[in-house]
Structure 1
């Protein structure tokens, strides 16, 4: 199975960027008052991308040696993914004031950026570790 590592890694990276881009686009459209982001087809597209992303992540986790994760970057990334999902749910909810949804949306985008930085740097501080 290790022979498929490059393809799985690239699929995971592409799916992560696609998921983040779709989230950013949907969030901006919702905050602009558009209705299409709440359409079932858009939601199911998002669910499909995220399911494929999670599948690729699990495959990578089983393929790679545990020593690669020794510095805690993966645990940090997983915790931030949960934070990102919760912030996204709060941003997309209709019951909160617009200002709160904007703040949750911005926080979710910043969290996504930190997750991306952690994944690229393989360090719990992400790209901040380069400073």
Structure 2
């Protein structure tokens, strides 16, 4: 069961990241696709499933925040990614949108580093 949930989690993570990047492209190109109802709803469904699979993995592997520093740091970066992602789409000025987008992508790389490397801090 663990490998299936792990693969589901990694697949949902990639779909979530690619979806964010596609929506950012639509934002920067001022595409009307960004305002379609499925584009507004689908990320919430994917991210909810991603969160549920992450919590399931955490319980199965007993790798809890506050016990393992890398898990705690990963959660901090995930919260930062969410905040920067929201700010990307809420910002009015193009330069702020770009800044928040780059910060969001930077936190994605930090999360991936922690997820694949599981470094000890």
- When normalised by structure 1's length, the TM-score is 0.84
Q: Contact (CA 8 Å) 2:63, 2:71: kept in 1 or not?
A: no
The gaps in structure 1 that reach 5 residues or longer are 126-131
Query: Which piece of structure 1 moves more, 36-45 or 81-90?
Result: 36-45
CA distance in 2, matches of 1:81, 1:45: 19
CA distance in 2, matches of 1:117, 1:66: 16
Aligned CA-pair RMSD: 2.0
CA distance in 1, matches of 2:109, 2:61: 24
In the TM superposition, structure 1's runs of 4+ consecutive aligned residues that sit over 2 Å from their partners are none
Q: Contact (CA 8 Å) 1:73, 1:118: kept in 2 or not?
A: yes
Give the superposition deviation at 1:40.
Answer: 1.8
CA distance in 1, matches of 2:99, 2:77: 17
Q: Contact (CA 8 Å) 1:84, 1:112: kept in 2 or not?
A: yes
CA distance in 2, matches of 1:22, 1:53: 13
Paired residues for 1:38-117 under 5 Å: 38-66=35-63, 70-93=67-90, 95-117=91-113
CA distance in 2, matches of 1:66, 1:108: 25
Give the superposition deviation at 1:49.
Answer: 0.7
Give the superposition deviation at 1:65.
Answer: 2.8
- The residue number in structure 2 matching 1:13 is 10
The gaps in structure 2 that reach 5 residues or longer are none
Give the superposition deviation at 1:70.
Answer: 4.6
Count of aligned residue pairs for this structure pair: 121
